[in-house]
Amino acid sequence: MKTSVVPVDPAKIGRLSATSSTPDVLDELKLDLDTTTSDAQSLQTAARLLQQSDVPVAFPTETVYGLGADATRSSAVRGIYTAKQRPSDNPLIVHFASLQQIRQILRPSGITDSQDVDKDPIPDIYHPLIRRFWPGPLTILLPNPSESTLAPEVTAGLSTFGARLPRHPIALALIQFAGVPVAAPSANASTKPSPTAAEHVAYDLDGRIEMILDSGPCEVGVESTVVDGLSQPPLILRPGGISLEQIRACPGWENVSIGYKDTSEQGSKPRAPGMKYRHYSPRSPVILVEPETRPPLLEDLRTYLGDNGKIGLVRTSNWSLQPGSREWLVRRGQQSPSLSNDLRATEASGLGFAGMLKNLGKERSKLELVKQTAGGDYAIEVLDMHLGADAADVARGIFAALRRLDQEDVAVILVEGIGEDGDDLAAAVMNRLRKAAEVVK
């Protein structure tokens, strides 16, 4: 199967307009497609594939790229599991383009009980969240009616389904044009980091799907927050694009509890790499260093490297790695004329390792750490990516950073964790990183 990556510019597909009962609520969506543009034609092609094919279509959302299929057709939904090689006991989120479309799923056989004519089948508990966060990176659990039109493969046998109204115009337009609810997990190969750019999807799924709609990098970078308002108290099942504090500020959600397991309680030591990883994981082992923890020394890293090798570094707020001993020196890039010159330069500037790293800027850069021993020079190549201190920037960049370092074949990826106190995306980032660094025994 040939996979095509097709650019679609949200500004060129035509006009999207909403009919709303209250401001900002997307009751109904209208799409006037501008059929003269190739962008709109690509959208049409993708919608047709969704309607007819059993091979899923990759499309952008504001969180991560999704791998979509018609949620009402079993054969299409099974195609997602095949393409991703994902175990089928994991329920999928269903994406909608309007509240009307969700209500149709909740009332599959029309209105039978006349008392309920005016009653919104979407449970009241969700109304404040919907008003504030939809369209956007939030998924809510809804009761799946017994005569539901959703394919059973979507819910993996549960009595509820996850519903999301994304805010990316291409996602909305695609769902609206296809006219079906779209089941979509992240468009990565199972166990790999989630895709936040079309290239990531192509890297993982080339030859396994026909079409990737490409609208550039994702705005949020981590998946939607999943909440369960049907339980008492309501629960957050997955941290994501909407923070705990934002949810807690909504009426009825003051007592929301954390319903997901995080692995932070395993302690703050870097986790041992070298085994099989479960989630969000590159091939290279990931060592997450929780904030407020002593950063590993270079001497520690040697144990992961064997005698020589490359390491990847993902820095965030304020890492200052200190060499384990003064015998180490830093060479930047490949052009260092000689070891002794470098040694002198480093000593003279008084910069040391931390200072050198600070000067390297945001982009990935390479530097070489060298130790002179009797048996010859010992070098570690460090591939450094600095994502910045802001949690939103870290969220946007983290999956791409893990993927890039993986492609460089580093022996280990060392990540500086971020603090989770603020009302931001830090909890979602740390949740993904803890999973990426998790060891399956």
Hey, which residues between 68 and 97 contact Mg ion (CB under 5 A)?
Answer: none
DSSP assignment, residue 291?
T
CA atoms of 271 and 200, how far apart (whole Å): 26
Min CB(194)–ligand TXA separation in Å: 7
Residue 295: count other Cβ atoms within 10 Å of its Cβ. Answer: 16
User: Which of 37, 88 has the CB closer to ligand TXA?
Assistant: 88
User: Which of 240, 296 has the CB closer to Mg ion?
Assistant: 240
Min CB(155)–Mg ion separation in Å: 16
> Is 54:78 a contact under the CB 8 Å cutoff?
yes
3-class DSSP state for residue 388?
A: coil
Residue 207: count other Cβ atoms within 10 Å of its Cβ. Answer: 10
Backbone dihedral angles phi then psi of residue 378, each to the nearest 5 degrees? -115, 125
Backbone dihedral angles phi then psi of residue 422, each to the nearest 5 degrees? -80, 170
46 binds, among ligand TXA, Mg ion, none (CB under 5 to 8 A by kind): none
Helical (H) or strand (E) element with 246: helix 244-248
Min CB(274)–Mg ion separation in Å: 24
Min CB(186)–Mg ion separation in Å: 3
User: Which of 90, 340 has the CB closer to ligand TXA?
Assistant: 90
CA atoms of 241 and 107, how far apart (whole Å): 29
Residue 186 makes contact with Mg ion by CB under 5 A: yes
CA atoms of 61 and 6, how far apart (whole Å): 15
Residue 224 makes contact with Mg ion by CB under 5 A: no
User: Which of 13, 201 has the CB closer to ligand TXA?
Assistant: 201
User: Which of 82, 336 has the CB closer to Mg ion?
Assistant: 82
Region binding Mg ion by CB under 5 A among candidate stretches 125-133, 185-193, 300-308, 370-378: 185-193
User: Which of 301, 391 has the CB closer to ligand TXA?
Assistant: 391
Please work out the total of residues on this chain that contact Mg ion, with binding judged by CB under 5 A.
2
Sheet holding 138-143, edge to edge: 4-7, 211-214, 57-59, 66-70, 182-183, 93-95, 160-164, 138-143, 225-228, 235-238, 257-258
162 binds, among ligand TXA, Mg ion, none (CB under 5 to 8 A by kind): ligand TXA
Min CB(194)–Mg ion separation in Å: 5
**Which residue, among 105, 92, 101, has the nearest Cα to 162 in the 3D structure?**
92
Q: Is 329 exposed, middle or buried (0-12, 13-18, 19+ CB in 10 A)?
A: buried
User: Which of 177, 399 has the CB closer to ligand TXA?
Assistant: 399
- Interface residues with ligand TXA (CB under 6 A) are 61, 63-64, 66, 90-93, 137, 139, 141, 155, 158, 160-162, 164, 166, 184-186, 223-224, 226, 237-238
224 binds, among Mg ion, ligand TXA, none (CB under 5 to 8 A by kind): ligand TXA
Region binding Mg ion by CB under 5 A among candidate stretches 18-26, 100-108, 181-189, 327-335: 181-189
Min CB(358)–ligand TXA separation in Å: 34
Residue 188: count other Cβ atoms within 10 Å of its Cβ. Answer: 25
Sheet holding 365-373, edge to edge: 286-289, 412-416, 309-315, 376-386, 365-373, 328-332
Binding stretches for Mg ion (CB under 5 A): 185-186
